[in-house]
Amino acid sequence: MLTDMYRSRNSSQPSIIDRVDPVIWSKHGHCPMISVEDETFYEENGFLFLKNVFSDAEVAQLRREANHMQNSSPTDDEVISEPGSDEIRSVFRVHDKSDVFSRLISDERLVAIAEHFLDDDVYIHQSRVNFKPAFKGKEFFWHSDFETWHTEDGMPRMRALSMSITLTDNSAYNGPLMLIPGSHQKFISCVGETPDQNYKNSLKAQQIGTPDQGNLTEMVEEFGITAPVGPDGSVLIFECNTLHGSSNNITPFPRSNLFFVYNAVSNKLVAPFSGKNPRPNFLATRKDAVPVRTGHYKIQAAE
Ligand code: 6CS
Ligand code: FE
């Protein structure tokens, strides 16, 4: 059994521990897709916002694919509706539901950066569209994705990242993703045991695994809050442990984003550190965790 380097949900008191993993796992300055300044920004802040990565025509195609999924049946386990309404909040495993998305996961503009930051071949740990529909899109409370992916999915180390492709404009008004810059360097150990099948509730409104208000306040006082805004076709790259959240959308403008989560193949999931049963494959890839670039991958001993 791997040592649990980031213990959470097993104490009656919250605590903060320092990150023990690198943020950028490979040699700096060797990624042709981004500048050294951007690379340094990502390392220091735990996120990087790249505007206008995809053309209008490409974004229109992505939006068509996503809108088609928005008509999915809410009874499908992989389709999550908003709390208190039938509006679709999220659809998961979208890279397996669209040829366009299944090609996009290996687009050089995305995968080359993920491979560089994670210094390994990468596979999709999770993909989803969060629709945050007009007027009805509800909040995602503050959280670290890694806290969930480690505790409930058995992701050993902080060697994963999310790429959020904006399918609609993300403005200051329609519930943009907010981040606490620099928070990726700290791991907040949360209080509260993981309920069985927690995902049936947490994907609608996460309670367990969210940081306590005391530590959140401390982190915001130290690092502040930032909400990158920009046009559709932009890409927000954020590290698996960067604290983030978003507010309700009370505007007529949807804030729909397509998320691909890249995990290093040497960081494949083990037994959940919560001791509970693993979550379903649509949330956390266990079967066919193959590199997005099909074929070979570097075999690396776990650190
Ligand atoms: O549990 C999860 O995997 C999901 N929950 C949140 C709030 N963000 C990451 C992911 O979509
Ligand atoms: Fe998240």
pLDDT digits (tens, 9 = 90+) for 147-204: 999 999 999 999 999 999 999 999 999 999 999 999 999 999 999 999 999 999 999 9
β-strands 178-179, 122-130: how paired?
unpaired
pLDDT for 113-157, tens place per residue? Answer: 999 999 999 999 999 999 999 999 999 999 999 999 999 999 999
Mean pLDDT of the chain: 95
Return the best residue to mutate from 129, 202, 207 for the ligand 1 pocket (most ligand atoms within 8 A of CB).
202
State in Å: Cα 226 to ligand 1 middle. Answer: 20
Type and span of the H or E element at 235: strand 235-239
In whole angstroms, give the CA distance from residue 9 to residue 15: 10
Per the DSSP assignment, residues forming a β-bridge with 16 are 188
pTM: 0.96
Q: What is the CATH number of the domain that holds 128?
A: 2.60.120.620
Q: Is 71 within a domain?
A: yes
Nearest residue (CA) to ligand 1, atom 4: 203
Burial profile 191-229: b = 16 or more Cβ within 10 angstroms, e = fewer: bbebeeebbeebbeebebbbbbeebbeebeeebeeebbb
Pick the ligand that lies closest to the CA of residue 126: 1
Per the structure, the complete domain to which residue 52 belongs is given by 17-277
Q: How confident is the model at residue 299 (pLDDT cuts 50, 70, 90)?
A: very low
Number of domains in the chain: 1
Residue 297 located in a structural domain: no
pLDDT, tens digit (0-9, with 9 covering 90-100), for 202-258? 999 999 999 999 999 999 999 999 999 999 999 999 999 999 999 999 999 999 999
Tell me how far the alpha carbon of residue 110 lies from the centroid of ligand 2, in angstroms: 19
In a domain, 7, yes or no: no
Identify the band that residue 78 occupies on the pLDDT scale cut at 50, 70 and 90: very high
